[in-house]
């Protein structure tokens, strides 16, 4: 099977759409458990709203190419996202593990959008370049927000733990 740039671009659109679904699953599970970390909760809630917009932009691009998201990829990554979100729940340091994972995941999404923009250019598909550049900037903003929250979140976790209070979420 010979692939062309358009086919590779469409695959990247579907992969990125599934990735955003996974991100939503992870963040939506986390915000349910962040009563002790209001700054992290606020950042995640803001980014959930942005991620819905990112998903919509990807769906618009797919529709413009007479394509649709991959149900198989989304089902699998949605499941993985839920498993990732609950994997840290039993841990006392759940919040720290989630903060580390969130920072890594945001950087993964930055790479995905950078790649998507490159593939779109190569495929001559520039109609959604501004939209995906906006998504990239949102991911970069969230990566910075999460990175900036690691130290204060760690300090809050430490303070709660040393006082003998539940610090997991």
Q: Which of 17-26, 40-49, 51-60, 107-116 has the lowest mean pLDDT?
A: 17-26
Q: In angstroms, rounded to a whole number, what is the distance separating the alpha carbons of residues 77 and 12?
A: 15
Would you give the distance in Å from CA 90 to the centre of its chain? 22
Is the pLDDT assigned to residue 95 strictly greater than 50? yes
In a domain, 168, yes or no: no
In a domain, 97, yes or no: yes
The count of other CB atoms within 10 Å of the CB of residue 71 is: 10
In a domain, 114, yes or no: yes
Looking at the 3D structure of the chain, how many domains does it have? 1
CA-CA distances (angstroms) from residue 160 to 12, 38, 103, 108?
43, 14, 22, 31
What was the pLDDT predicted at 100?
A: 95
Is the pLDDT assigned to residue 20 strictly greater than 50? yes
Average the pLDDT over 100-107 and give the result.
95
- Tokens 């841990």 correspond to 91
Would you give the distance in Å from CA 40 to the centre of its chain? 14
In a domain, 169, yes or no: no
pLDDT digits (tens, 9 = 90+) for 130-162: 999 999 999 999 999 999 999 999 999 999 999
In a domain, 22, yes or no: yes
Q: In angstroms, rounded to a whole number, what is the distance separating the alpha carbons of residues 46 and 104?
A: 18
Average the pLDDT over 70-96 and give the result.
59
In a domain, 129, yes or no: yes
What was the pLDDT predicted at 166?
A: 81
How far separated are the first and last CA of the chain, in Å rounded?
49
Q: What is the CATH number of the domain that holds 21?
A: 1.20.1260.10
In a domain, 156, yes or no: yes
In a domain, 167, yes or no: no
Domain span at residue 37 reads: 5-162
Average the pLDDT over 69-79 and give the result.
57
State the pLDDT confidence band at 81, using cuts at 50, 70 and 90.
very low
CA trace torsion 19, 21, 23, 27 (10° rounding): 180
| pTM summary value | 0.87
CB 9 within 8 A of CB 58: no
Q: In angstroms, rounded to a whole number, what is the distance separating the alpha carbons of residues 121 and 140?
A: 20
């Amino acid at each position: 099977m010979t692939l062309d740039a358009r086919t590779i671009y469409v695959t990247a659109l579907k992969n990125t759409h599934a990735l955003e679904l996974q991100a939503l699953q992870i963040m939506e599970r986390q915000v349910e458990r962040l009563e002790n970390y209001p700054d992290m909760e606020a950042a995640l809630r803001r980014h959930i709203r942005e991620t819905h917009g990112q998903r919509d932009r990807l769906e618009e691009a797919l529709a413009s190419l007479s394509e649709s998201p991959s149900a198989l990829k989304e089902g699998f990554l949605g499941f993985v996202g839920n498993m990732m979100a609950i994997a840290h729940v039993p841990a006392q340091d759940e919040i720290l593990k989630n903060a580390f994972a969130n920072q890594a995941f945001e950087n993964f999404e930055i790479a995905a959008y950078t790649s998507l923009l490159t593939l779109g250019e190569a495929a001559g598909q520039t109609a959604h370049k501004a939209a995906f550049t906006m998504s990239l900037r949102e991911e970069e903003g969230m990566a910075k927000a999460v990175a900036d929250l690691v130290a204060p979140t760690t300090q809050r976790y430490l303070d709660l733990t040393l006082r003998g209070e539940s610090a997991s979420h």
